[in-house]
């Protein structure tokens, strides 16, 4: 089976991809789990490589922006801003995660009690098309700095953006398996959730989110959902609605 990406501006076919099968999904998750065993150990190492990733984002910003604009149609200026925002996020979590992850002392009846923040393992990331870099990397930055590894299933419409993200990790020198992109459509979601991932994160519609939550909970896997978001705003009485629209 294959999937196609289409330029929404010209309606031309950009590329055609072979959809990954179940065996390849399991192989990718296994590789990610092997990488997790080492990646979780050293926050200084994670900080170092996350800073390099931010540098690679800026170094490749123009080409990354062109890929996003070609695949999902937003103005190039907005795509450039999206990539820059991703670089900022990587730097923010690289600089602050040591503080965020520090043990917290709490008062209990015990002689000493602390809350300790430990990585979960391999996280499945199912992300939408509207901000193909930001949606994936705003989740990836804190998750990676916490010591997790990631398997990304990007939106079918922005598959090359997802592939470019994995390429960035490779260029930045991350060890093999820390971040992987799976090429596929909605048909690979269930086998991904059913695989040996430790948790699932999903951004998208409420209807699909319900299915993701049900599938994840059937395995007692942690699940983070961002669903059906809207953007409420105040309309003043003197607003020119016709002009604004």
Neighbouring residues of 1: CB distance < 8 A, sequence distance ≥ 6? 18, 19, 187
Residue-level pLDDT at 122: 98
- What angle, rounded to 10 degrees, do the helices at 43-59 and 76-100 form? 170
| Beta carbons of 33 and 149 less than 8 angstroms apart | yes
Residue-level pLDDT at 139: 94
Residue-level pLDDT at 148: 98
Q: Strand 149-153 and strand 179-181: pairing?
A: parallel
Neighbouring residues of 147: CB distance < 8 A, sequence distance ≥ 6? 36, 39, 40, 41, 43, 46, 118, 119
In order, the DSSP letters of 156-173 are GGGHHHHHHHHHHHHHTT
**Residue 120, Cβ density class (10 Å: 0-12 exposed, 13-18 middle, ≥19 buried):** middle
- Domain ranges across the chain: 20-99+119-228
- The CA R_g of the chain, rounded to the nearest whole Å, is 19
- Cα 179 to Cα 168: distance, rounded to the nearest angstrom: 10
3-state SS class at 132: coil
Each residue of 75-87: pLDDT tens digit?
Answer: 999 999 999 999 9
- For the chain, percent of residues with pLDDT exceeding 70: 98
- Cα 102 to Cα 105: distance, rounded to the nearest angstrom: 10
Q: Which long-range contacts (CB under 8 A, 24 or more apart) does 80-86 make?
A: 82/131, 82/133, 82/134, 83/57, 83/58, 83/133, 84/57, 84/58, 85/134, 86/57, 86/133, 86/134, 86/137, 86/138
Q: Considering the entire predicted model, what is its pTM?
A: 0.88
3-state SS class at 175: coil
Residue-level pLDDT at 228: 80
Tokens of 104: 């917290």
| Beta carbons of 93 and 53 less than 8 angstroms apart | no
DSSP code at position 136: H
Interval 134-157 mean pLDDT: 97
The CATH number for 20-99+119-228, chosen from 3.40.630.30, 2.60.40.1120, 3.40.605.10, 3.40.109.10, is 3.40.605.10
Each residue of 65-78: pLDDT tens digit?
Answer: 999 999 999 999 99
- Residue with the two structure tokens 């965020």: 100
Is residue 232 over pLDDT 80? no
């Amino acid at each position: 089976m294959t999937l196609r990406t289409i330029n929404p501006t010209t309606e031309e076919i950009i590329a055609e991809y072979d959809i990954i099968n179940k065996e390849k999904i399991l192989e990718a998750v296994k590789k990610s789990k092997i990488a997790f065993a080492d990646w979780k150990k050293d926050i200084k190492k994670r900080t170092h490589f996350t800073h390099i990733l931010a540098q690679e984002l800026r170094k490749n910003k123009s080409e990354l922006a062109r890929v996003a604009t070609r695949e999902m149609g937003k103005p190039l200026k907005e795509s450039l801003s999206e990539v820059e925002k991703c670089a900022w996020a990587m730097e923010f979590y690289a600089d602050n995660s040591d503080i965020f992850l520090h043990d917290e002392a709490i008062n209990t009846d015990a002689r000493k009690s602390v809350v300790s923040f430990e990585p979960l393992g391999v996280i499945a990331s199912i992300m939408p098309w509207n901000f193909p870099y930001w949606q994936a990397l705003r989740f990836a930055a804190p998750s990676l700095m916490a010591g997790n590894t990631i398997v990304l299933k990007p939106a079918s419409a922005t598959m090359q953006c997802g592939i470019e993200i994995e390429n960035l990790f490779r260029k930045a020198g991350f060890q093999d398996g820390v971040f992987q992109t799976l090429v596929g459509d909605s048909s690979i979601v269930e086998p991904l959730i059913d695989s040996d991932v430790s948790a699932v994160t999903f951004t998208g519609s409420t209807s699909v989110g319900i299915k993701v939550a049900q599938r994840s909970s059937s395995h007692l896997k942690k699940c983070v959902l961002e669903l059906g978001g809207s953007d409420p705003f105040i309309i003043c009485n003197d607003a020119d609605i016709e002009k604004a629209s």
